[in-house]
Amino acid sequence: MSLVQFIKSKTFLKQLLFAVIGLIVVAFIVMKWLNISTNHSQKIEVPNLERLSIDEVENKLDDLDLNYVVIDSTTYNPSFPKKSVIEQSPEAGDFVKENRKIYLTLNPSGYADVEIPDFYGKTKRQAISQLKAIGFRISDDFMYVSDIAEDVVRGLKFNGKDLKAGDKVPKNSLIILKLGDGNGAGRFSQTSEE
């Protein structure tokens, strides 16, 4: 029997019909199973979690059968409460299925510590611009010490304590500059103070 005769035979056509019907039945069963197993019609609206603490987030998401993962703590933002949610993904108002993970970014408990560079001998202007660039605030009340050089940095103070290069201070701290007054006769020592 040749290939053309076999294709035209009743046996082949019956087998082809059974195969097509079988594929249709299997496809129908798979589609029904997918609708059931993936909760196709179910959707939960993601709540707004911004400004909430982790305990509040956990309570809120448990009630909705959602999970959370803390992915990051960003730089401190004083307009948000400490250790509260700053960002979330998916966003509030999006629809998700149960047991979906909500990814959270938290506000740290305070500003990060920044290392103080060596400013001794730099001009007031250089020191102010560098300190502001690394995130510090500069006091308008400068401390002047007896020194031959005028407006040259002879030290830094934070909370009444002298700072030296390498000390760590929280970002956004108020720093007081100790500057030479231009009237001194000798070299100022970093440890002495007038």
Q: What's the pLDDT score for residue 193?
A: 47
Contacts of 100 (CB under 8 A, 6+ apart): 44, 66, 67, 90
Q: What is the mean pLDDT of the chain?
A: 89
Shared fold status for 44-106 and 113-181: yes
Q: Which parts of the chain have pLDDT scores under 50?
A: 188-194
Q: What's the pLDDT score for residue 186?
A: 54
Q: What's the pLDDT score for residue 187?
A: 53
Q: What's the pLDDT score for residue 191?
A: 46
CATH topology of domain 113-181: Trypsin Inhibitor V; Chain A (3.30.10)
Q: What is the pLDDT of residues 151-173, one digit of tens each?
A: 999 999 999 999 999 999 999 99
- The strand pairing partners of 104, in sequence order, are 70, 88
Q: What's the pLDDT score for residue 78?
A: 87
pTM as predicted: 0.60
Q: What's the 3-state SS for the chain? A: CCHHHHHHCHHHHHHHHHHHHHHHHHHHHHHHHHHHHCCCCCCEECCCCCCCEHHHHHHHHHHCCCEEEEEEECCCCCCCCCCEEEEEECCCCCEECCCCEEEEEECCCCCCEEECCCCCCCEHHHHHHHHHHCCCEECCCCEEECCCCEEEEEEEEECCEEECCCCEEECCCEEEEEEEECCCCCCCCCCCCC
The architecture (CATH level 2) of 44-106 comes to 2-Layer Sandwich (3.30)
Domain ranges of the chain: 3-37, 44-106, 113-181
